[in-house]
Copies of this chain bind each other. A is one copy, B any other.
């Protein structure tokens, strides 16, 4: 950490800061500039929170933290790409390069609504070439009067359809009390945008051995997303996939603003795989195809796409769900672009 002293700071002020740094177990390093004194605090990371108090000592203008707050999630701790396995499916890999060895598509309806609807979705997903099946049984809805999901009955349907199709399944968890239940039925936990900083849930999931799909929140910085992943990793669960799903900005033409740059940033900072959720970012089916193409081209490890046999009858997220023929087209486009990435761009020197 660096401490920038005010121009009029006294020698006594400097002395008190260095004393504090020492008492926190760090070594102070004073640099006297032409106009200001700058003090570095050198040492390992354990006294970090004590150092923050320096911000309001006499004569201090501000402090600048230099190191990243996460460890296990960072490339410095774990240089090579983590490949997460969900059943037989692998997600991740390529060491941060442009071209990923696979582009894994997760597909399914927003909500599980009935055995029939879920079977149709499973059939469409399988036929199109998706690798994993999604479906929500516990739904986070802004309104208490909206459909809240089928609960355990939905989980049973999901597991059943996944088995019939030979596809691993993923579903959202919203409450620590549901962990055992969801662990029984699902191959991967999904933590939604609104629970990305539900730290009790993150810790509890960290004690499971099932992989986790962790979505970035509407308001979460990339650093905070990595800190939320760190909560899971720190408890021993290393199978975490990150998901960019749009952030909240002033623009209202789309439901949220897809932060496509988050993909190269995340691939640089962390070894964990990163996928894109264009459905929630855009909020409208008509923008999903171009955004999924962009996800392939930018180097994401995959995408999660909402589909529905009849979007106009969906109990949730209808407007952003793809019809079967739209999804078939999307998977064709994904294949063409991913081939160009692997065979074309991957072969450039």
A→B interface (CB under 8 Å) = 2, 4, 7, 20, 29, 31, 33-36, 38, 40, 42-45, 48-49, 52-53, 55-57, 64, 66-67, 69-70, 76, 98, 138, 140-147, 174-177, 194-195, 197-201, 203, 217-219, 221-224, 227, 230-231, 234-235, 247-254, 257-265, 268, 281-282, 284-287, 289-291, 293-299, 311-316, 318-319, 329, 332-333, 336-337, 339-341, 344-345, 348
* A175 to B227 alpha-carbon distance, docked (Å): 19
Can you report 7 A-B residue pairs in the complex whose CB atoms are below 8 A from each other? A69-B142, A144-B199, A221-B252, A254-B261, A293-B298, A294-B295, A297-B298
* A257 to B259 alpha-carbon distance, docked (Å): 6
> Given the known A-B contacts A66-B2, A253-B221, A261-B254, are A315 and B40 also in contact in the complex, defined by CB atoms under 8 Å?
no
Contact B297 A337 (CB under 8 A): yes
Contact B263 A290 (CB under 8 A): yes
A57, A231, A336 — which one has the most chain B CB atoms within 10 A of its CB? A336
Nearest opposing residue in chain B for A234, CB measure: B144
CB-CB < 8 A to A201: which residues of B? 175
Contact A345 B319 (CB under 8 A): no
Nearest opposing residue in chain B for A44, CB measure: B34
* A251 to B235 alpha-carbon distance, docked (Å): 27
Contact A53 B281 (CB under 8 A): no
> Which of B174, B264, B333, B344 is close to A199, meaning CB atoms less than 8 Å apart?
B174
CB-CB < 8 A to A174: which residues of B? 198-200
Number of copies: 4
> Given the known A-B contacts A44-B34, A290-B297, A337-B340, are A260 and B260 also in contact in the complex, defined by CB atoms under 8 Å?
yes
* A260 to B293 alpha-carbon distance, docked (Å): 11
Contact B344 A336 (CB under 8 A): yes
Nearest opposing residue in chain B for A263, CB measure: B290
Given A38-B42, A144-B227, A247-B250, 18 more pairs with CB closer than 8 A: A20-B312, A34-B43, A36-B67, A49-B316, A138-B200, A144-B203, A144-B231, A194-B199, A247-B251, A247-B257, A249-B257, A249-B259, A254-B265, A290-B297, A297-B337, A332-B345, A337-B337, A337-B341
* A200 to B172 alpha-carbon distance, docked (Å): 13
Nearest opposing residue in chain B for A344, CB measure: B336
Contact B199 A250 (CB under 8 A): no
Contact A260 B294 (CB under 8 A): yes
Task: Determine how close the nearest CB of chain B comes to the CB of A125; give it in whole angstroms.
Answer: 19
* A118 to B347 alpha-carbon distance, docked (Å): 32
Contact B230 A143 (CB under 8 A): yes
Task: Determine how close the nearest CB of chain B comes to the CB of A8; give it in whole angstroms.
Answer: 9
Task: Determine how close the nearest CB of chain B comes to the CB of A27; give it in whole angstroms.
Answer: 8
